[in-house]
Amino acid sequence: MKDFFDVVWFHLKLFAKNSYFRTIVFVTTISYVLIQYVAAYAVQDLGNKTIWLRAGIIGTWAAGTSAAGVIPFQRAQGTLAYILDSRRGEAFSLSTLIIPAACFGLLSFPISFITSYVLGIDVSSSNWFLLILGIFSLWFSVIILDFVVAGIFVLTPNAMLYEGLLMAPILIGSGIYSMPGKWDTIVKILGLLLPMTTPVKLILNPNTITYVDLAQMLVCSIIWLIVAKALLTFCLKKVRISGDMEAI
């Protein structure tokens, strides 16, 4: 376990020096605070407590999608083949890459909080304990989704081009925004399949959480981990057969 955390810390320091990963969190989070601020100011709704929370959720998932960029980042450095060729196994190696990328997402809520406070947006919370619990459960669910994303993107050197396609569908499906008419039903069905749904609900509407929601998150997390393991095994086998890991 100590080796795992040592490797995670090593990659975290590397990513912290890369402006790409820093920019994703700061620019995305601050941009969404400003967009919501303009809309709220126009309708005199700066007391809306969900403004900074939504921006934090979006920033966290944006950092999560950067896990897709970790793969081509290591390809470009010529180290992907050597990282995956580990005696500890591919799952260990990819986990130590994905988790540091997702760790940047934890910065989204402090950034959103400070930006919103400066702009005069209400940043209070009815239950700080549940909010912090929701933030860390969101981070955990993002990591689980990232395992699947990274497994798929091992196959392509152009993974960074597809990061944007992941952001909106997952966020909408997790219930960050309500949808009109029949679309709301579709979103709710999609939300049942995502481990992020319950953490988002815990952050935005903590008083509505039920045991069913917790069970939904647990079952979805287990299913997504099983899918991630199977997908990773398949993708790495295919990549090795095609010889497309850019090894020397």
Residue bearing the bigger pLDDT, 164 or 98: 98
Say whether pLDDT at 92 is over 80: no
Cα separation, 55 vs 49, in Å, equals 11
Mean pLDDT of 4-26: 80
Share of the chain above pLDDT 90, in %: 26
In 3-state terms, the chain is what percent helix, strand and coil (to 5)? 80, 0, 20
Nearest-angstrom CA–CA distance, 53 and 29:
10
Question: By mean pLDDT, which of 69-83, 93-107, 138-152, 165-179 is the weakest?
Answer: 69-83
* DSSP 8-state symbol, 17: T
Res 192: pLDDT: 87
String of DSSP letters for 36-52: HHHHHHHTT-TT-THHH
Average pLDDT over residues 191-204: 90
| CB within 8 Å of 91: residues ≥ 6 apart | 229, 232
Going by C-beta distance under 8 Å and a sequence separation of 6 or more, which residues neighbour residue 89? none
More confident: 150 or 116: 116
Mean pLDDT of 71-96: 70
SS3 per-residue string spanning 187-204:
HHHHHCCCCCHHHHHHHH
- Quote the pLDDT of residue 241: 63
Is the pLDDT at 108 greater than 60? The verdict is: yes
Q: Residue 91 to residues 3, 95, 96, 226, 236: CA-CA distances in angstroms?
A: 14, 6, 9, 12, 10
Average pLDDT over residues 110-132: 91
List pLDDT tens digits, range 41-76.
888 888 888 899 999 999 998 888 776 667 666 666
pLDDT at 243 over 60: no
pLDDT class of 248 with cuts at 50, 70, 90: very low
Please report the pLDDT score of residue 68 as a whole number.
62
- Residue 137 has a pLDDT of 93
At 85, is the pLDDT very low, low, confident or very high (cuts 50, 70, 90)?
low
Query: Is 223's pLDDT higher than 60?
Result: yes
Q: Is pLDDT above 60 for 117?
A: yes
- Measure the CA–CA gap between 206 and 131, rounded to whole angstroms: 8
**If pLDDT is split at 50, 70 and 90, which confidence band does 163 have?**
low
pLDDT at position 53: 93
Question: Has residue 154 got a pLDDT over 80?
Answer: no
Q: Tell me the average pLDDT across 134-155.
A: 82
CB 75 within 8 A of CB 236: no
Per the CB < 8 A criterion, the answer to whether 67 and 146 are in contact is: yes
